Amino acid sequence: MLPFQEQIITDLVEDPNGGLVVLSSGLPVYSLVASLLLFHNPSQGSLLILCASETQKASISGCLQRLQQTPNPILPIDIPGDLPSHQRTALYASGSSIFVTPRILIADLLTSRVPPSSVAGVLILDAHRLSDTSTEAFIARIIRSISNTAYVRAFTDRPHSMVSGFAKAERIMKCLYVRRLHLWPRFHVLVCGDLERDAPEVVDVRVPMTPAMRGIQQAVLETMDACLKELRKTNKVDVEDLTVENGLFKSFDEVVRRQLDPIWHTLGKKTKQLVSDLRTLRKLLDYLLRYDAVTYLKYLDTLRVSEGVRSVWIFAESSYKIFELAKKRVFQVLQADGVRISNGRKIMVHQRSVTRGSVNVKEAENLKGVDNGVFLEEILEEAPKWNVLRELLEEIKERKEEVLSNQGNGLVGGANENNDLVLIACKDERSCLQLEECLLKGPHQVIRQEWENYLLGKVELHSLKKRGRKRSQDPKGYGILDGSVARSYENADPTNINNLENDALLVVASEINYIDKEEAATGDESQRLATVKGYTKGKSHGRSKKAAKQASASRYKLKKSAVKDKFDKTTLETAVQGAETNFHSERDLQGNNLIPSSTCNVDNSFIQLHSQDSRVSEFTETKPVAHIHFYALEKNEPRLDIWKPTVIIVFHPDITFVREIEVYKAENPSLKVKVYFLFYENSAEVQKFDASIRRENAAFESLIRQKSLMMIPVDQDGRCIGPTTLFEPNPAISLDLPMKKVGCKMTTEKEMRVIVDMREFMSSLPNVLHQKGMKVVPVTLDVGDYVLSPLVCVERKSISDLFQSFASGRLYHQVETMVRYYRIPVLLIEFSQDKSFSFQPSNDLGDDISPTSIISKLSLLVLHFPRLRLVWSRSVHATAEIFVSLKSNQDEPDEAKAIRVGVPSEDGIIENDVRAENYNAAAIEFLRRLPGVTDSIYRSLMDGCKNLAELAVLPVERLAELMGGQKPAKMLREFLDAKFPTMI
């Protein structure tokens, strides 16, 4: 443990009340938690750990194992959701360290399953997610009320999230009942001294982008700036936050939506679309530097189809450059004479290398009989970082060999030099898989395989569109999938050019598909080679044979992999998901020996095809480095202490991982670590990395100023009072409770009780109800979410849940059961206090009933269930006030009866069925089927007579009064008095 970590632990242990710790991103929170667990004494009670994800649990447990260094380390116990209550009670009393979810813990605290003296303290992770109404704040308030010695310690490594909103850090400290704020930025004196004492050797590699990549980046930034200018015109958002630099971060969307949510219903469609477009543009900028050219083009094709005319950014002045330059990175359209087609004019191509997929132009014309066709020249631009990574690995290999030779000669020594592990860190798992393919097969082979998958996707999509069409008996000209189309392209407009490009892609894809099908049908490898031989002309005339063999080998692999997941590769989903599926499926096929690997013994002709191409053989014959590990940063699993790498290549720079490397080197000062950072020069990648550092420093500076002005109220014992007791003198007694006079003293009625379903503890309402002084009783309810009295049952729905419940039909069943078992069923529709109090904009409201309108659905629901009451609530605090009003003059609910409602016994009879008092389903269904009884009449009949026997003897005059007319009364009377038919 580093000295600054020891200082943090010391500061926390000295304060018996706990505290809130805010660290820089990347500093090891899990090691601090593990150290606190190690210092915990079971005699003090149980130590509860909240809000820990599976990754954080694994990191804490792994760190504990390394700290204890014993064969049988003591690790925290994880309480699953299905563990019986008596076993949970035993675990709480054992004095162990326990991982528990907030929903389970709050239910156990409210039901007294947790002994008051058995809790030593609570550790809360990701404290930046907390709020006044969160379940963690509810837990802190309950623990504070049952124990005076229990402490609360919270941790977070997201300082920028702690400054979003007004005095967020102060509000979190009050709701957790802590009074000390511990700030540990990267520029702290102790942190700087520990991390810079034995800093790793850093090499900053700046990779120049290709001209097309620079053009796309500039176009995306211009388009983003144009969207921000349009958004500023609304005068409804904070202009200071609307900058391109802030738009590079994912949190930018949250900032904009937080400002616009209260007035979202008043915004026009254009403003709403601009918010969505900014998120799309940020992804475009990120994917440009992360993915290959073909995948990026596939993603743009998906956006063109999915968003279409709705998007505003597509109609920006510079947006067309994004699509044009993305296509030029992959292919370009040419005529047979080598002239490029572009917006109504001819552009001569200096390099007369014209290919149509894998078919030579001259032979294609002879085969197809076409005088003037459209052909494609494959560009297939490789990512510049791929070649730089290969050069770095070769350099590392040479350095390792030199060190080994020097050790053999006795010149140098050291045990650490024998560890030749190289760690390559990428943003996501897909990038790791693609880089692994590049090292095994070569960059050109990987990009060509992506290209052929892209073309086969075009064929499959075209076949899906044509499926169901009636084919003409006498086709005119040539079909797209049978050859090129003879047309004149002298003066083509952009729409026609797009059609020509699509036709040319289909021609090339059809030829690849035809070769694969022919090979699959005949199974003859020699015939496939004879078909492909001489058809490919690459960018250099001298390399035509090599390119042909390389392309044929690529198709061989493609055909094999298409056996398993052909449809998955050709569906028009997002490019990222499609590419990830392709790589996963290919790796699975390689594991099953369906795809020949470069290191496996396969057919000699296949090996010869690879060995003759120098660009492929470099990666298939030898490995650059002995041991290479790929690490996906999105997993957020600290593994540096386990792998102990000596060389780290940061392919996608990330500030969090940089801090992890610094801590890893500081903890291992004797280990020589060399770090390579790969940046695209003058790119958004560099700008985002620098901006993340500035944003974190600015967040800590703001927290330091807030700490100097912070006012935390404390009691006479020095403990934080908290927000509840500050504004409510006695939280255990509601101020809304009626008071009655007994002699000369004022006494209160018994406290209000609310029975709450266990599933509702995922929301904030139970916490607010407890703040209002109500006793919350958590149980498992089959009918309703809240039982306020023996007569009142409430089904609570948020806006999103309401729409989903209508779509699935679940709401109809829930309301039906409430109407059956309770006299006053209530449907509570609760809005968020940060969003607009409206279902939809007022200009979208219509007078007609529509099956898709939420207002129409609610109207039909109320018409079908007349006793249902709709209650609208603006926020959770307003809901608590409504519950107090509904409970006035009502008896307190019975917990045992509420649990049994709707639960059948073993013999099929409902225990304590309340329907015997107010609901007889069979009698009502029989009444509604009688002649003259309609949906608007049967309720008045139920109110006018007690049962069907009394209805049968009512005179016609009384029936006419109840049914509202003589005609329906006579129909019912004649039916009841009619004689049975007799059998003769």
pLDDT at 573: 36
**Helix %, strand %, coil % of the chain (to 5):** 55, 15, 35
CATH number of the structural domain spanning residue 60: 3.40.50.300
The stretch 87-109 carries a mean pLDDT of 91
Query: Distance between CA atoms of 837 and 261, rounded to whole angstroms?
Result: 10
From 614, 648, 678, the end of a domain falls on 678
Answer yes or no: do 20 and 163 share one domain: yes
Residue 174 belongs to what H/E stretch?
helix 168-176
pTM score, whole prediction: 0.74
Answer yes or no: do 447 and 389 share one domain: yes
Q: CB count, 10 Å around CB of 608? A: 11
Q: How many helices (H) and strands (E) does the chain have?
A: 39, 26
The stretch 240-244 carries a mean pLDDT of 68
Q: What is the DSSP secondary structure assignment for residue 904, as one 8-state letter?
A: B
Answer yes or no: do 191 and 217 share one domain: no
From 197, 223, 257, the end of a domain falls on 197
pLDDT above 60 for 111? yes
Q: What are the start-end ranges of the H helices in 69-114?
A: 85-92, 102-110
Domain annotation covers residue 683: no
Q: Which of 27-36, 116-125, 439-448, 717-726 has the lowest mean pLDDT?
A: 717-726
pLDDT at 359: 38
Query: Distance between CA atoms of 88 and 80, rounded to whole angstroms?
Result: 9
Domain annotation covers residue 701: no
Tell me the DSSP string of 354-376: -EETTEEHHHHHHHHT-SS-EEE
Query: Distance between CA atoms of 516 and 520, rounded to whole angstroms?
Result: 6
Question: Do 121 and 18 touch, CB atoms closer than 8 A?
Answer: yes
Answer yes or no: do 876 and 969 share one domain: no
Q: Which of 121-125, 249-253, 276-280, 925-929 has the lowest mean pLDDT?
A: 249-253
Answer yes or no: do 173 and 217 share one domain: no
In angstroms, how far is the first alpha carbon of the chain from the final one? 103
**How, if at all, do strands 355-356 and 359-360 pair?**
antiparallel
Query: Distance between CA atoms of 677 and 718, rounded to whole angstroms?
Result: 49
pLDDT above 90 for 72? no
pLDDT digits (tens, 9 = 90+) for 498-518: 666 777 777 777 777 666 666
Q: Which of 25-29, 107-111, 667-671, 908-912 has the lowest mean pLDDT?
A: 908-912
Instruction: Using the CB atoms, write b or e for 73-102: b if 16+ within 10 Å.
Output: eebbeebeeeeeeeebbebbbebbbbbbbb
The confidence band for 453, taking pLDDT boundaries of 50, 70 and 90, is: confident
Q: Could you give the 3-state DSSP secondary structure of residue 348?
A: strand
Q: What tokens appear for 160 in the block?
A: 């920028």
Answer yes or no: do 239 and 170 share one domain: no
Query: Distance between CA atoms of 678 and 628, rounded to whole angstroms?
Result: 17
pLDDT at 718: 67
pLDDT digits (tens, 9 = 90+) for 409-429: 655 544 444 467 899 999 999
∠ Cα 604 610 616 (to 5°): 155
Answer yes or no: do 35 and 181 share one domain: yes
pLDDT digits (tens, 9 = 90+) for 429-444: 999 999 999 988 889 8
Domain annotation covers residue 241: yes
Long-range contacts of 92-97 (CB under 8 A, 24+ apart): 92/46, 92/118, 92/119, 93/46, 93/118, 94/42, 94/46, 95/42, 95/43, 95/44, 95/45, 95/46, 95/120, 96/42, 96/46, 96/47, 97/37, 97/40, 97/46, 97/47, 97/49
CA atoms within 13 A on the CB side of 406: 12
CATH number of the structural domain spanning residue 950: 1.10.150.20
pLDDT digits (tens, 9 = 90+) for 864-909: 888 899 999 988 999 999 999 998 888 899 888 888 887 765 544 4
Answer yes or no: do 78 and 179 share one domain: yes
* Amino acid identity, position 388: V
The confidence band for 528, taking pLDDT boundaries of 50, 70 and 90, is: very low
**How, if at all, do strands 181-184 and 119-124 pair?**
unpaired
Answer yes or no: do 869 and 943 share one domain: no
Query: Distance between CA atoms of 837 and 260, rounded to whole angstroms?
Result: 13
Domain annotation covers residue 864: yes
Q: Which domain covers residue 972, as residue numbers?
A: 921-977
Domain annotation covers residue 551: no
Q: Which of 75-84, 151-160, 548-557, 839-848 has the lowest mean pLDDT?
A: 548-557
Question: Do 154 and 169 touch, CB atoms closer than 8 A?
Answer: no
pLDDT at 336: 59
Proportion of the chain above pLDDT 90, given as a percent: 24
Of residues 90 and 504, which shows the higher confidence score? 90
- Which residues, 6 or more positions from 97, have their beta carbon under 8 angstroms from its beta carbon? 37, 40, 46, 47, 49, 74, 75, 76, 77
Query: Distance between CA atoms of 46 and 91, rounded to whole angstroms?
Result: 8
Tell me the DSSP string of 754-816: EEEEGGGGGSSHHHHHHHTTPEEEEE--SS-SEE-SSSEEEEEEEHHHHHHHHHHTHHHHHHH
Of residues 584 and 231, which shows the higher confidence score? 231
Question: Do 636 and 55 touch, CB atoms closer than 8 A?
Answer: yes
Q: CB count, 10 Å around CB of 400? A: 18
Question: Do 186 and 659 touch, CB atoms closer than 8 A?
Answer: yes
Nearest in space to 25 (alpha carbons), one of 122, 128, 101: 128
pLDDT at 481: 37
pLDDT above 50 for 569? no
The length of the chain is: 984
Answer yes or no: do 240 and 311 share one domain: yes
Q: Could you give the 3-state DSSP secondary structure of residue 900?
A: helix
∠ Cα 134 137 142 (to 5°): 130
pLDDT at 309: 66
pLDDT at 378: 82
pLDDT above 60 for 281? yes
pLDDT at 419: 63
pLDDT at 566: 32
- Which residues, 6 or more positions from 546, have their beta carbon under 8 angstroms from its beta carbon? 538, 612, 613, 614
pLDDT digits (tens, 9 = 90+) for 764-819: 899 999 988 889 999 989 889 999 999 999 999 988 888 888 888 889 889 988 98
The stretch 441-457 carries a mean pLDDT of 87
Answer yes or no: do 798 and 668 share one domain: no
- Which residues, 6 or more positions from 760, have their beta carbon under 8 angstroms from its beta carbon? 766, 785, 786, 796
Q: CB count, 10 Å around CB of 367? A: 12
Domain annotation covers residue 786: yes
Question: Do 652 and 425 touch, CB atoms closer than 8 A?
Answer: yes
**How, if at all, do strands 359-360 and 792-798 pair?**
unpaired
Total domains, the chain? 5
The confidence band for 535, taking pLDDT boundaries of 50, 70 and 90, is: very low
Nearest in space to 400 (alpha carbons), one of 620, 677, 626, 661: 626
CATH number of the structural domain spanning residue 766: 3.40.50.10130
Query: Distance between CA atoms of 938 and 943, rounded to whole angstroms?
Result: 9
Question: Do 781 and 787 touch, CB atoms closer than 8 A?
Answer: yes
Query: Distance between CA atoms of 116 and 630, rounded to whole angstroms?
Result: 48
* Amino acid identity, position 823: R
pLDDT digits (tens, 9 = 90+) for 624-644: 555 888 999 888 887 888 888
Domain annotation covers residue 886: yes
Query: Distance between CA atoms of 569 and 578, rounded to whole angstroms?
Result: 6
Mean pLDDT of the chain: 75
pLDDT at 465: 62
Proportion of the chain above pLDDT 70, given as a percent: 69
Q: Which of 80-84, 177-181, 293-297, 340-344 has the lowest mean pLDDT?
A: 340-344
The stretch 552-577 carries a mean pLDDT of 35
Backbone phi and psi for residue 544, each to the nearest 5 degrees, phi listed first: -70, -40
Question: Do 661 and 639 touch, CB atoms closer than 8 A?
Answer: no
Q: Which of 44-53, 151-160, 905-914 has the lowest mean pLDDT?
A: 905-914
pLDDT digits (tens, 9 = 90+) for 681-735: 988 888 889 888 998 999 999 999 999 888 887 776 667 777 744 334 344 334 3
The confidence band for 5, taking pLDDT boundaries of 50, 70 and 90, is: very high
pLDDT above 60 for 54? yes
Q: Which of 122-136, 142-156, 343-357, 437-451 has the lowest mean pLDDT?
A: 343-357
Q: Could you give the 3-state DSSP secondary structure of residue 379?
A: coil
Q: Could you give the 3-state DSSP secondary structure of residue 23?
A: strand
Answer yes or no: do 171 and 94 share one domain: yes
- Which residues, 6 or more positions from 359, have their beta carbon under 8 angstroms from its beta carbon? 367, 511, 535, 536
The confidence band for 937, taking pLDDT boundaries of 50, 70 and 90, is: confident
Backbone phi and psi for residue 748, each to the nearest 5 degrees, phi listed first: -105, 155
Q: What is the DSSP secondary structure assignment for residue 152, as one 8-state letter?
A: E
Domain annotation covers residue 487: no
